[in-house]
Amino acid sequence: MKIDKVLVIGAGTMGSGIAQVGAQKGLKTTMIDTGPEMLDKAMKTISRSVEKLAEKGKLSEKPTEVIARVTASTDLQVGADADLVIEAVFEDLRVKQDLFARVEGIVGHHTVLATNTSAIPISAIGKDLSGPERLLGLHFFNPVPMMDAVEVIRGVCTNDETFAFGAEFVRFLGKEPIMVKTDIAGFALNRANMLANLEAMRLVENGVVTPEDLDKGFRLAFGRRMGPLETSDLVGLDVQLMAYTNVYMEERDPKFHPPAILRRKVAAGHLGRKTGKGWYEYNPDGTRKQ
């Protein structure tokens, strides 16, 4: 794999994390966003994160050396010589399609294009590209510097070379590729996890088990740090309902249908930690009510 320069478009939560891990591995990384404020914030986030890693002895060089490899710009043109473009802008099909159309007009023919979408089909994002075979999904998990799995997703048009490059790049970053060979809704990890989450909600809805016991069981029996309902309160019940509805609408498979208990809680504004009430209740300081 010959790669020297990476262009990360969208310098938010995910983009800044992706730029950081690239720079930590010695790549020249340029972040693009729509305004200087977003880019300043991203640079500060990266600085804090690498300094923390250095304090913990997890960085093999000085933080300043890593940070020196990251540049920030609002001008897409500075990425014309990138070997790999990773898009991490808003989760909106039109925004992503428009962006890749512009990118395609700027970068060279050898450049691999990747999207970090959570749920939009890779094939839809690449629909209007003249070279959709060089587009793939690289689905990083949050927080990027800490999470070691990355889904490598093959769109309908993605060619073998691009798909294999995705795996190689993920390994180069020191992470593990999870190869998703078909472009399906929810990809592999969130899709499988979703079923456990939905079943957990149904079990509570049917009075089979309390949220407390279910979460405790997941922690003690399955070695998870948090159970599915604790996680649901953290992520936001509204965010989950939207994601599950999207997968259900695409698949029309009842196993993905969000249960009434989730729909009603969202309708009542019980969205989890952010509203003080979800599967559990929270004090104003964020601690859980007993």
Enumerate the active-site residues: 118, 139, 151, 190
CB of 66 to ligand NAD, least distance (A): 20
| Residue 153 contacts residue 136 (beta carbons within 8 Å) | yes
Residue 141 CB, nearest distance to ligand NAD (Å)? 6
> Could you give the CA distance from residue 278 to residue 135 in angstroms, rounded to a whole number?
39
- Containing 86, the helix (H) or strand (E) segment is strand 84-87
Q: How far is the CB of 45 from ligand NAD (least distance, A)?
A: 10
3-state secondary structure of 128: coil
Tokens found for residue 62: 């000085």
- Determine the interface stretch with ligand NAD among 29-37, 151-159, 237-245, 250-258 (rule: CB under 6 A): 29-37
Q: Which is nearer to ligand NAD, 99 or 203 (by Cβ)? A: 99
Q: Does 231 bind ligand NAD (CB under 6 A)?
A: no
Residue 53 engages ligand NAD in binding (rule: CB under 6 A):
no
Which of 13, 45, 97, 245 touches ligand NAD by CB under 6 A?
Answer: 13
Supply the minimum distance, in Å, between the C-beta of residue 216 and ligand NAD.
Answer: 25
Q: Which of residues 90-149 bind ligand NAD (CB under 6 A)?
A: 90-91, 95, 99, 116-118, 140, 142
Backbone angles phi, psi at 93, to 5 degrees: -55, -50
Distances in Å between the Cα of 240 and the Cα atoms of 45, 66, 201, 257, 288 are: 26, 35, 12, 12, 20
Total binding residues for ligand NAD by CB under 6 A?
Answer: 22
HSE-CB at 238 with a 13 A cutoff on CA atoms is: 11
Contact in structure between 94 and 24 (CB atoms under 8 Å): no
- Decide if residue 38 touches ligand NAD (CB under 6 A): yes
> Where along the sequence are the contacts to ligand NAD (CB under 6 A)?
9-15, 32-34, 38, 88-91, 95, 99, 116-118, 140, 142
